[in-house]
Structure 1
Amino acid sequence: MAGRGDRSYCYREALPFAAMVSMECLNVGLNTLFKFAADRGMSRHVFLVYAYAVAALLLLPSLFFSRRRSRVLPSLNFSIVVKIFVLGAVGYASQIMGYTGINYGSPTLASAMSNLAPAFTFVLAVIFRMEKLSLSSSTTRAKLAGTVISISGAFVVTFYKGPSINPSFSFSSSSSPPSMNQLLDSTRSDWIIGSLFLSVEYMLVPVWYILVTHIMKEYPSEFTIIFFYTSSVSILAAVAGVFAEPDSSKWMIRPNIALASILCSGVFNCCINNSVHSWALHLRGPVFVAMFKPLSIAIAAAMGVVILGDTLFLGSIIGATIIVIGFYTVMWGKAKEEFGAFVMEATDLESSMDQNHPLLQTYKIHNSRT
């Protein structure tokens, strides 16, 4: 019995925790690699087509494995396929916004802005009446405060740069470091544009989480869903890429950093990362998955400075700190709300058992007296 309990704890607690920490580290590394390749001429439209095509090819065998599980899985009907295609459209829009934002900004900026996802999740839940507002409730006030704080932090990151606090070392391949005036003049507008694109991305990420969770309830097969999802994104990216990137030379990928970025993202991000996130969403829900977002900020800042030669500004650190405070305020409110719902459910269950078993109620009264 103890062995079963240990295995259950490992599967529900330790394994998802380790998986999500690993995925956050992996995401930062892949974003840094993309930025490195994009700075050397790789098109983000071409990147999305090839990266998601690689993922779809890797996941193709999952269809054959799912046939073996056909006795326990429902049929893959037209309704589920349409929902997965909608998921692909949301995912493509999110990805193109995100990579455009990284192209204009940096992986560090993307990691800071990613913490807006819980705040936007709460806003969407209120708009679609999935979340009830009760200002007398401490959980509602916490979520409202956290949302306002997070969005305020995003404004700080976007519009206030502040002085540079960069260390003097970097492994970037640039021949000579730019002067401070060049950095301030050349990146100001790009930083704002990048922040706006990333804000739109993290408005779409909660929609993606909600759709995946909904689809997984109907068809609980992570790899099959992600296969159709990656195929949809690759097709949509190819259609959009024909118009957005008419230069045929951009579609010729040579064995360089662009190819490395496409292969690594296709294998580790589009395939493994999406599958792990789907599994974690199904097992623990969107709140658990979102809890690990702040971890990526420190990793992205370190990698951006060391590998890309990015410049850290005081405004980025202040804004990221404000966003993280707002993030955990929303998470605290949500966790307290879920705990309260769990306690109420347990109380109702206990009350129901007492009514159905009078002898149990008599036994409890006797024990309380003694």
Structure 2
Amino acid sequence: MANVDFMPFLAMVIVQLGFAGMNITSKLAMDSGMNPFVLVTYRQIFATLATIPFALILERKTRPKITIPILFQIFLCSLTGAFMNQVFYFVGLNNASPTIACALTNILPAVTFLFALIFRQESLGIKSKAGQAKVIGTLVCVGGAMLLSFYHGRKIGIGNSAIHWKYAEKMTDKHPTEKSNFLGPFFIFASTAAWALWFIIQAKLSIKFPAPYTTTTLMCLMATIECAVVGVAIEHHVAAWSLRSGIRLISAVYAGFVCSALAFCIMTWCVERKGPLYTSVFSPLMLILTAILSWALLRETLFVGTLVGSTLIIAGLYSVLWGKDKEAKQANITEGMEAAVKNREKEDLELQFQAHGNGGNGRHDPN
């Protein structure tokens, strides 16, 4: 039993480690001169190739009919969750450090909560402890994100890494990770907002079209076309699309196969085994792993503002998740009580019907 419970934990650690590695390889690829639009296009291509077998094999018999409205919703998912989310993220990562990029993505639950309020998929419930936790957590997340974006403070003296990767050192000398412009955090914010919109659209789509692998394959395919059209319009040179460089090829294949296809399958399995909340609480682990890898491989310097802002974001994240979990448990209790009341009413009606039937038989009995 212990081994069974340990597997989802190990799986989610591997997923977060995979995402942390993507931040490092993608950062190095873009520092080598790779255009973010080119990188995202190749990521969508490899993700599409990786998810096609799952869609064809696992959902061959269970896939619902694909209609025009379903295709339109998948297109919206590709536009927000794949194109805008990933393009904005990689542009932001290109103008910020991997640690800051990972930290800012942890405001996703708070931003999703705000959009869910706007689209009336969530209730504020300010009078309940769960509602207060969500509101306070959202404010703390936003405050931590603002601190992380606009304040550095003193450097944290943790010494230098003993790892010397000559290629990474060469790239960091040309493109230092400590950048003072706010372009990176701005695009990370935009990426998170697009991702939150994807959750809103995907929540409705999954009810109408419960075929996650087919949805992902079509979404990646549409995003490939979208990214390719915009990428070619921005980057005309054929040489910029070459994958002869080792780090560019590794980054594109890694992002597509590991962080899109494999990660999606593992997270889907974990959601089925442990639920969405269990899967969500592991997201801050990516920040810790990325900070360690950035310090060890990219010689990134950590600042007091980064540490304090990241701590606030994680605290706000867990506050929002706690509120959501509290509401979910309360909703289950309410549904159980309503089901019990309905069953009792049904039993009472059946007893009354039997009583009337027995009374009627008594009245018409000739004996």
TM-score by length of 2: 0.85
| Range with greater deviation from structure 2 (213-222 or 313-322) | 213-222
Distance 2:255 2:176 in 1: 29
Larger gyration radius, structure 1 or structure 2: 2
Partners of 2:28 and 2:171 within 8 A in 1: no
CA displacement, residues 94-115 of structure 1 (integer Å, 9 cap, x when unaligned) = 0011111111112211221111
CA displacement, residues 341-368 of structure 1 (integer Å, 9 cap, x when unaligned) = 111222222333344446xxxxxxxxxx
Unaligned runs of 5+ in 2: 349-367
Please name the residue that 2:35 is paired with: 43
Q: How far 1:221 sits from its partner (Å)?
A: 2.6
Mark the CA change 1:98 to 1:67 in structure 2 (over 3 Å): closer, same or farther.
Answer: closer
TM-score by length of 1: 0.84
Match of 1:96 among 87, 101, 121: 87
Partners of 2:172 and 2:298 within 8 A in 1: no
Mark the CA change 1:203 to 1:288 in structure 2 (over 3 Å): closer, same or farther.
Answer: farther
Match of 1:126 among 111, 117, 120: 117
CA displacement, residues 286-322 of structure 1 (integer Å, 9 cap, x when unaligned) = 5444322111111010001111111111110100001
Q: How far 1:277 sits from its partner (Å)?
A: 4.1
Distance 1:177 1:241 in 2: 26
Distance 1:290 1:342 in 2: 20
The residue identity in structure 1 corresponding to 2:70 is I
Mark the CA change 1:68 to 1:148 in structure 2 (over 3 Å): closer, same or farther.
Answer: closer
Please name the residue that 1:271 is paired with: 261
Partners of 1:66 and 1:224 within 8 A in 2: no
Matches within 5 A, 1:233-248: 233-248=223-238
Size of the aligned set, in residue pairs, is: 342
| Range with greater deviation from structure 2 (143-152 or 98-107) | 98-107
Distance 2:140 2:280 in 1: 17
Partners of 1:147 and 1:330 within 8 A in 2: yes
* SS of residue paired to 2:107: helix
Distance 1:213 1:319 in 2: 30
Q: How far 1:255 sits from its partner (Å)?
A: 4.2
Mark the CA change 1:200 to 1:289 in structure 2 (over 3 Å): closer, same or farther.
Answer: farther
The residue identity in structure 1 corresponding to 2:33 is G
Is 1:347 aligned to residue 337 of structure 2?
yes
Is 1:256 aligned to residue 246 of structure 2?
yes
Partners of 1:51 and 1:266 within 8 A in 2: yes
Matches within 5 A, 1:240-319: 240-277=230-267, 287-319=277-309
Matches within 5 A, 1:81-120: 81-90=71-80, 91-120=82-111
Is 1:21 aligned to residue 13 of structure 2?
yes
Mark the CA change 1:276 to 1:183 in structure 2 (over 3 Å): closer, same or farther.
Answer: closer
Please name the residue that 2:45 is paired with: 53
CA displacement, residues 48-94 of structure 1 (integer Å, 9 cap, x when unaligned) = 1122112222333345426741xx33212222222111111112100
CA displacement, residues 116-152 of structure 1 (integer Å, 9 cap, x when unaligned) = 0010011111111222223322211111111000000
The residue identity in structure 1 corresponding to 2:164 is F
Please name the residue that 2:164 is paired with: 171
The residue identity in structure 1 corresponding to 2:53 is P
Distance 1:321 1:67 in 2: 41
Distance 2:14 2:318 in 1: 20
Unaligned runs of 5+ in 1: 1-5, 359-370
Is 1:326 aligned to residue 319 of structure 2?
no
Mark the CA change 1:61 to 1:136 in structure 2 (over 3 Å): closer, same or farther.
Answer: closer
* SS of residue paired to 2:180: helix
Q: How far 1:285 sits from its partner (Å)?
A: 6.3
